[in-house]
């Protein structure tokens, strides 16, 4: 990055740490998301559901990109389904992120989704979710080693070009901290699956991207948790920040 390159302003949606059962761990999680874009030269604008209407409006008006992060399940009413295994719902966060997504769509800024963020992007764009995948997650972050599984990239996808530009990598092994998922049949119009993982419920979408229009990518794993993530995922954060910088 040139010293004269602009520092893009990226809205980072976060959980309200004080409202979680483990506030200290929640604060640490939030910090990891913020650092994932700051270390690549961005200016982070952290927002959670306590942000005022004025703060939200100002952030959305000036953002060059949007990072939708991990957290609680999305209310299934948002995608027209009854509750079939969703838990720890946070409607106020759903509202914040739906507004952030609408602003990003209106202004055509890049969007990156992580875990819940992937699911949020899919539901806001008209898709659905599989609300519970048995046996797909074990220890919570900060409570022992992460559950892991192989991830298969779709050759030729933009996601694959970011994570494996040489086209020579074997299956990546990623962390697994989610009990909800997207299957191919759940995908919103305009999205395509770019990575998969096996599960008791069949193949799950581990990454997605848009087929046209503004830069949109999402991953189901948690690449900000670098202790359990292949280093190649730093390329994802770098690519996202660069897309935001170009937009700015």
What value does the mean pLDDT take over residues 20-34?
A: 95
Check whether 97 has a pLDDT greater than 80.
yes
The CATH number given to whatever domain includes residue 146 is 3.40.50.880
pLDDT at res. 178:
84
Q: Is residue 121 part of a domain?
A: yes
Q: Is residue 105 part of a domain?
A: yes
Q: Is residue 181 part of a domain?
A: yes
Long-range contacts of 95-100, Cβ-Cβ distance < 8 Å, separation of 24 or more: 95/49, 96/13, 96/47, 96/48, 96/49, 96/51, 96/56, 97/13, 97/68, 97/124, 98/124, 99/56, 99/60, 100/11, 100/13, 100/47, 100/56, 100/60, 100/66, 100/68
Q: Between these two residues, 170 and 116, which has the higher pLDDT value? A: 116
pLDDT at res. 142:
61
C-alpha angle with apex 222: 216 to 223, nearest 5 degrees?
75
pLDDT band at 141; cut points 50, 70, 90: low
Check whether 128 has a pLDDT greater than 70.
yes
**Strand partners for 12:** 46, 67
* pLDDT one-digit tens code per residue, 29-60: 999 999 999 999 999 999 999 999 999 999 99
Q: How many structural domains does the chain have?
A: 1
pLDDT at res. 127:
98
Check whether 79 has a pLDDT greater than 80.
yes
Tokens found for residue 60: 């959305």
Long-range contacts of 17-23, Cβ-Cβ distance < 8 Å, separation of 24 or more: 17/48, 22/142
Q: Is residue 1 part of a domain?
A: no
Check whether 2 has a pLDDT greater than 60.
no
Q: Between these two residues, 2 and 126, which has the higher pLDDT value? A: 126
Check whether 1 has a pLDDT greater than 60.
no
pLDDT at res. 247:
84
Check whether 72 has a pLDDT greater than 60.
yes
Share of the chain above pLDDT 70, in %: 93
Q: How far apart are CA 100 and CA 59, in angstroms?
A: 9
Q: Is residue 4 part of a domain?
A: no
Q: Is residue 196 part of a domain?
A: yes
Q: Is residue 2 part of a domain?
A: no
Range of the domain at 29: 9-247
Q: Is residue 98 part of a domain?
A: yes
Q: Which range is least confidently modeled, 101-105, 197-201, 231-235? A: 197-201
């Amino acid at each position: 990055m040139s010293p004269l390159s602009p520092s893009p302003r990226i809205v980072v949606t976060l959980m309200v740490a004080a409202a979680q059962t483990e506030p200290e761990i929640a604060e640490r999680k939030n910090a990891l998301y913020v650092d994932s874009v700051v270390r690549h030269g961005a200016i982070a604008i952290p927002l959670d559901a306590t942000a005022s209407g004025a703060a939200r409006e100002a952030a959305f008006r000036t953002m060059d990109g949007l990072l939708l992060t991990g957290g609680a399940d999305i209310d299934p009413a948002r995608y027209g389904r009854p509750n079939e295994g969703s838990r720890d719902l946070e409607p106020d966060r759903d509202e914040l992120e739906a507004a952030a997504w609408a602003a990003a769509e209106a202004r055509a800024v890049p969007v990156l989704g992580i875990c819940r963020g992937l699911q949020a992007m899919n539901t806001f764009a008209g898709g659905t979710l599989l609300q519970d995948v048995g046996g797909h997650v074990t220890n919570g972050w900060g409570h022992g080693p992460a559950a892991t599984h192989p991830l298969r990239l779709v050759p030729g996808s933009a996601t694959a070009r970011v994570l494996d530009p040489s086209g020579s990598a074997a299956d990546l092994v990623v962390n697994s901290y989610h009990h909800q998922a997207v299957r191919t049949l759940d995908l919103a119009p305009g999205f395509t699956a770019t990575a998969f993982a096996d599960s008791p419920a069949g193949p799950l979408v581990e990454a997605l991207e848009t087929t046209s229009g503004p830069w949109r990518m999402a991953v189901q794993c948690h690449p900000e948790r670098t202790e359990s993530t292949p280093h190649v995922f730093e390329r994802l954060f770098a690519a996202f920040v660069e897309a935001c910088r170009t937009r700015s």
